[in-house]
Amino acid sequence: MKIYLNGKLVEKMDAKVSVFDHGLLYGDGVFEGIRSYDCLVFKLKEHIDRLYCSAKAILLKIPLTKEEMVDAVINTLKANKLKNGYIRVVVTRGEGDLGLDPRKCPKATVFIITDNIVLYPKELYQKGLSIVTVPTPRNIPEALNPQIKSLNYLNNILAKIEAINFKVEEALMLNKDGLVAECTGDNIFMIRNKILITPPTYVGVLSGITRQSVLNIAPKLGLKPEEKVITRYDLFNADEVFLTGTAAEIIPVVGIDGRNIGVGKPGEFTLDLISEFKKITKKEGVKYTL
């Protein structure tokens, strides 16, 4: 496997960063997860734009132009002969000292991994998954804005640990006011009476790229998309619930906190959205050849 590391393609075993890198020491950095489908990098421009917005928000200078970053992604996919894969682009503050001061890090570290990923077992996409609400609340946006895809995911990891302890695959996180936010790595949607609802970003959720794709697809299927606050009560009484994310794509939810959602199996609208989403992954992105 070839890894892009600071301008070079190196073997996996040689892809090393310093123990003094502030991405490792403090989670000081940003990242993007991206998908390629049959030699098309889905929504690559949107992902790269978001990466640079995250970096700007934390005053992190990326030592590549956006065009150079796109080329680096494509070249890494080609080097690994991947037609279908998951791409992780990471930019850290770089090597510094043991203090917090970002001025002690003269140059950012950039690495790109292209590989395969399986976020949930295949059968859950057919049968649907059950999730639980966990005690760990979502970080408040005023402390760490969720639009910044930072390397500090401890908030999400703590919630994931609680899900594992409950013997389920995913955790539902609420915000400080008890409103539905998102899951540990995915946005959440509900459908009721042909209205498709997802929490607005101001409650503390990432403006996901798959999330936006689903909002765009919805009217084609006769659904009215809305961004509005959601409570657990709303989810319990939804006709359908599903999660979205780059790695997860679209996955049905059939149970929350011991309650069946709808009839307890993936709903028709969810299955239609999955089908329509697969269609756009074949045409919305940047093509490359192996």
Cβ proximity of 255 and 200 under 8 Å: no
For the chain, report the end-to-end CA distance as a whole number of angstroms. Answer: 15
221 contacts: CB under 8 Å, gap ≥ 6 = 269, 272, 273, 276
* Angstrom distance (rounded) from CA 188 to CA 253: 9
CA distance 273 to 161: 30
d(C-alpha 197, C-alpha 156), whole Å? 22
Phi, psi of 192 (to 5 degrees): -145, 125
Q: State the catalytic residues.
A: 149
